[in-house]
Structure 1
Amino acid sequence: MNLLSNHLAGRWQHGSGPGTPLFDPVLGTELARVSSEGLDLAEGFDYARETGGTALRALTYRQRAALLAEVGQVLQAHREAYYDISMANSGTTRKDSGVDIEGALYTLAQYAKWGESLGDARALLDGDAMRLAKDGTFQSQHLLTPVRGLALFINAFNFPAWGLWEKAAPALLSGVPVVVKPATATAWLTQRMVADVTAAGVLPPGALSIVCGSSKGLMDPLRPFDVVSFTGSADTAALIRSHVAVTRHSVRVNIEADSLNAALLLPDASPGSASFELLVGEVVREMTVRSGQKCTAIRRVFVPGHCYDAIAEAISAKLRGIAVGNPRSDGVRMGSLVSREQLDGVRAGLAQLREQAELLHDGASHPIVDADPAVAACMGPTLLGARDAHAASLVHEVEVFGPVATLLPYRDLGEAQALIRRGEGSLVASVYGTDPQQIAEAAAALADSHGRVHAVSPEVASLHTGHGNVMPMSLHGGPGRAGGGEELGGLRALNFYHRRSAVQAGAAAIERLAATGSRLTF
């Protein structure tokens, strides 16, 4: 039995008991087991704070940025192993695995570069000093200093590589040690990456720890200056927010939860137009990349009423050409969901939506290539439609976390925007059109309820980064249903791992303070 180790308190440790098995979701074979049972979490967390945190804070931002660059080099050296693990444990094609793995490497490289620009400071200046006395002899300077705690990451199953490093890069750059708890189903890739970095010795002891297995008691050892970043379901997010560490000790929490992301085709589009084709292509991509298991994937597609039938046929025509099955087989474009359990959940959600929506393209029509349908967690992409977007309330309430999207018509732009807001807050909305003024107005109208608005027009057709691709330069997160959190956004990500304080002192002291800090600019 291959029991994956946990790295805690500066050493590798096995949990007790038989452990929880990890499976190949296509072949159904057991790959490894994980267990956190019996671990002394309090000891491990103390070690991270005291040993890892002290060592990281002793370094400058420039020095910590150099560590991120070294981490990236270590991971680059093992890239092929990560692709093998991803295909085996997540059921993804090589291209889909790259979204996770290469995205992680790119994000690390960006934060290494941005951290270099912060220089040899150990604190950040937030804005300019402000006078507290008329003659300027007494002033106030806001200062950002790294938290003297740890960063606990409770991650989702869909991005075991990027999900770790998009959080860890700004945390480590800030000088905050990391403890990651990956989702059990796909924990192997995260664990292997931590193992490789640990073996290379590029980070100080205690700077990076991992707990694989059950999350029971995970938050109990947290202290007031720790922070928690969670990606997953709204139900689990509610449990985290209600934990005594948050309610009594004010542990800072960042949540990314459910999200009914939308795509909007602007009213001036017509069948066959450039914006029409751009929307069709992007919807198909978002339904099929990683089998639709992306928190940013398009779930609702809003189109002018006169385009509804043409859009339905155009998307369906492209979906019919998607080969689904074993990612090891040539020609397979879409692999599996991460588990049979996830497949059951998607099917249940799809059944809910079909109570109020018609079937436009049936995923069940896709043969499963080179895999046993009774074993593999595979399903074809499914397009639904609801001609009355107001009456189809479940479409605006239920997120099916798989290759499923629903087409919805609208009469005018005001109605479309109101329908999109029925999602009650999302990570991203995308807008497709040709008129810059109309695009700008639509983006501004949707910004209050979305963490990101991605506008696609013909001049950026070959340049835009994609509705669902999370770039480290832009904010990732969203209000309301999406969790109310914020990640990435360039150096804005460092805010979560720092404490802001106002230093009030004489002008000479403020001047000396400013000389030792780096001014944070976005």
Structure 2
Amino acid sequence: MTELLSNYLGGRWQAGSGAGATLSDPVLGDALVRVDATGLDLAAGFAFAREQGGAALRAMTYRERAAMLAAIVKILQTNRDAYYEIATANSGTVHNDSAVDIDGGIFTLGTYAKLGDALGERRYLIDGDAARLGKDPLFQSQHVLVPTRGVALLINAFNFPSWGLWEKAAPALLAGVPVIVKPATATAWLTQRMVRDVVDAGVLPPGALSVVCGSAAGLLDQLQPFDVVSFTGSAQTAALIRSHAAVTQRSVRVNIEADSVNSALLLPGEAAGSEAFDLLAKEAAREMTVKSGQKCTAIRRIFVPEALYGAAADAIGARLARVTVGNPRHEAVRMGALVSRAQLASVREGLGYLQAQAEVLHDGATHALVDADPAVACCVGPTLLGARDAHAADRVHDTEVFGPVATLVPYRDNADALALVRRGQGSLVASLYGSDADALAKAAVELADSHGRVHVISPDVAQLHTGHGNVMPQSLHGGPGRAGGGEELGGLRALNFYHRRSAVQASTSVLAQL
């Protein structure tokens, strides 16, 4: 029987008492490990994290906690090879796609280590300037940010078992808040292994970092008023979290990242074959295929002027045709698998749903799998659809197929383009392509209210931009509306979620001591 991975809760490793769920290789079909959380004393585990982990973290300064993050970086770097092996086996990703997750998580940790070090020997933050409360300046109000005296429950998605952990845990730990992470079951192995390595190294106080693998049943029931929960996943699950008594009755703070039908827009005035046109085609193909399209920030809708619809279809299709799909262990393969049979079925179902209102411009079924059995492997080729009637194709604007799928959409003019992008009802990111700086700036501001991030790509930054779908810790990650309304990262802004703001009203001499 496969190994049963232990959970780390209450300051000790604990095995679940049930049979557990089996994690499988999405290419070979082999059973890998099992995860289970049955029988864990969740109440005691959460209490230990709050009381022991929280107290120890709050006793440290930001600089000390930053040094702790830097120590975690070194541990993870030491074990990178093992993480890549797990990612290949459990997520079916090629080396470059594994790097997005593994090295991206490590980079994010390192960034917050540097940011925290700059905060110095403080245990709380001053928020703005003191404000006079009357004619005499002797009595004033000063806002402060102090770490919440609770636990951060992080419920993560299957597509980023490393980055999804550390992009949330880094600011939480830096803020002085203990973390309990619940990774998605299908790819929990990498998260569990990283937590194990960090715990075994002893660089964190007991209770600062815990991991629960398997079912999430009962986790939300443990949340108390000063706890916070950060969730990445489906809008359906997000709705259940928002309706839970912990949120509705105990006012637990919640951050949600849910579905997002992200856009790429080529501005008017560009010609087929121009630099901006080619940048759009390149980025669209790349975003469709990185991690087999299993990215919350991936491009789902590609908007081009009506006159360029055919040229864009050809340019993007030509790039997709060169993508080799199959076993990530084969050196010729550039795109691996979806994470599971369930995900494969979901993508196929979603494709059929969209095709009722769209034509196939590049058929993923034309990609023969390399070193992989189609009857076993969870592989699917990249598919580009086209919706000639952009306004009638409501499914294209409302549905995210979480795989290597995107739809090309023609627009009439600039106003039409912006209106169609907004049909996504709020997204994590939109990318703009063009060569007119003034037009790009105006479009960016126009779309800013409905997107967490607007990524502008012009020829002058062709070799410099970080990518439509790459989430950089210095920039905000999240989005309004359909995308969940949450905010993560954004440099030190991420710490706000894990702090409580309070106004201290006192004499100027008292406030000076703050």
**TM-score, normalising length from structure 2?**
1.00
Deviations 1:254-298 (A, max 9, x none): 000000000000001110000000000000000000000000000
Paired position in structure 1 for 2:273: 272
Paired position in structure 2 for 1:460: 461
Deviations 1:390-443 (A, max 9, x none): 000000111000000000000101111101101000000000000100000000
After TM superposition, list the pairs within 5 Å mapping 1:346-495 onto structure 2. 346-495=347-496
Paired position in structure 2 for 1:67: 68
Matched residue SS, 2:145: strand
Matched residue SS, 1:390: coil
1:249 Cα offset (Å):
0.1
Paired position in structure 1 for 2:307: 306
- Does 2:55 correspond to 1:54? yes
Deviations 1:219-249 (A, max 9, x none): 1011000000000000000000000000000
2:265 & 2:95 partners in 1: Cα distance? 30
Letter matched to residue 428 of structure 1: V
1:148 & 1:327 partners in 2: Cα distance? 44
2:508 & 2:58 partners in 1: Cα distance? 27
1:405 & 1:443 partners in 2: Cα distance? 22
Letter matched to residue 202 of structure 2: G
Deviations 1:457-501 (A, max 9, x none): 000000000000000000000000000000000000000000000
Paired position in structure 2 for 1:516: none
Deviations 1:191-222 (A, max 9, x none): 00000000000000000000000011111011
Deviations 1:360-417 (A, max 9, x none): 0000000011011010000000000011100000001110000000000001011111
1:375 & 1:23 partners in 2: Cα distance? 11
Moved over 4 A (4+): none
1:135 Cα offset (Å):
2.0
1:342 Cα offset (Å):
0.2
Paired position in structure 2 for 1:93: 94
2:454 & 2:18 partners in 1: Cα distance? 47
Matched residue SS, 1:299: strand
Deviations 1:282-324 (A, max 9, x none): 0000000000000000000000011100000011111111000
1:456 & 1:422 partners in 2: Cα distance? 22
Paired position in structure 2 for 1:519: none
Letter matched to residue 26 of structure 2: P
1:18 & 1:162 partners in 2: Cα distance? 28
1:181 & 1:142 partners in 2: Cα distance? 33
1:386 & 1:55 partners in 2: Cα distance? 56
2:224 & 2:393 partners in 1: Cα distance? 45
2:424 & 2:110 partners in 1: Cα distance? 34
Uncovered stretches (5+) of structure 1, i.e. residues with no partner: 514-522
1:182 Cα offset (Å):
0.0
After TM superposition, list the pairs within 5 Å mapping 1:91-490 onto structure 2. 91-490=92-491
Letter matched to residue 199 of structure 2: T
Letter matched to residue 92 of structure 1: T
Deviations 1:319-363 (A, max 9, x none): 111000000001100000000100000000010000000000000
Paired position in structure 2 for 1:40: 41
1:357 & 1:133 partners in 2: Cα distance? 64
1:133 Cα offset (Å):
2.0
2:453 & 2:407 partners in 1: Cα distance? 21
Deviations 1:100-149 (A, max 9, x none): 00100100000000000000010000000010121201000000000000
1:90 & 1:107 partners in 2: Cα distance? 21
Matched residue SS, 1:156: coil
Letter matched to residue 405 of structure 1: A
2:83 & 2:331 partners in 1: Cα distance? 20
2:183 & 2:442 partners in 1: Cα distance? 40
Letter matched to residue 386 of structure 2: G
Matched residue SS, 1:165: helix
2:309 & 2:271 partners in 1: Cα distance? 10
Matched residue SS, 1:117: helix
1:270 & 1:338 partners in 2: Cα distance? 38
1:17 Cα offset (Å):
1.4
1:511 & 1:414 partners in 2: Cα distance? 53
2:19 & 2:131 partners in 1: Cα distance? 60
Paired position in structure 2 for 1:520: none
1:450 & 1:251 partners in 2: Cα distance? 25
Matched residue SS, 1:255: strand
Letter matched to residue 74 of structure 1: I
The two structures, once aligned, show a CA RMSD in angstroms of 0.4
Kept in 1: contact 2:444–2:454 (CA 8 A): yes
Paired position in structure 1 for 2:17: 16
1:402 & 1:481 partners in 2: Cα distance? 18
Paired position in structure 2 for 1:517: none
Letter matched to residue 369 of structure 1: V
1:200 & 1:268 partners in 2: Cα distance? 57
Matched residue SS, 2:250: coil
Matched residue SS, 1:311: helix
Aligned length: 513
1:135 & 1:53 partners in 2: Cα distance? 40
Letter matched to residue 303 of structure 1: V
Kept in 1: contact 2:18–2:37 (CA 8 A): no
Kept in 1: contact 2:145–2:501 (CA 8 A): yes
Percent identity over the alignment is 70
**TM-score, normalising length from structure 1?**
0.98
2:505 & 2:447 partners in 1: Cα distance? 40
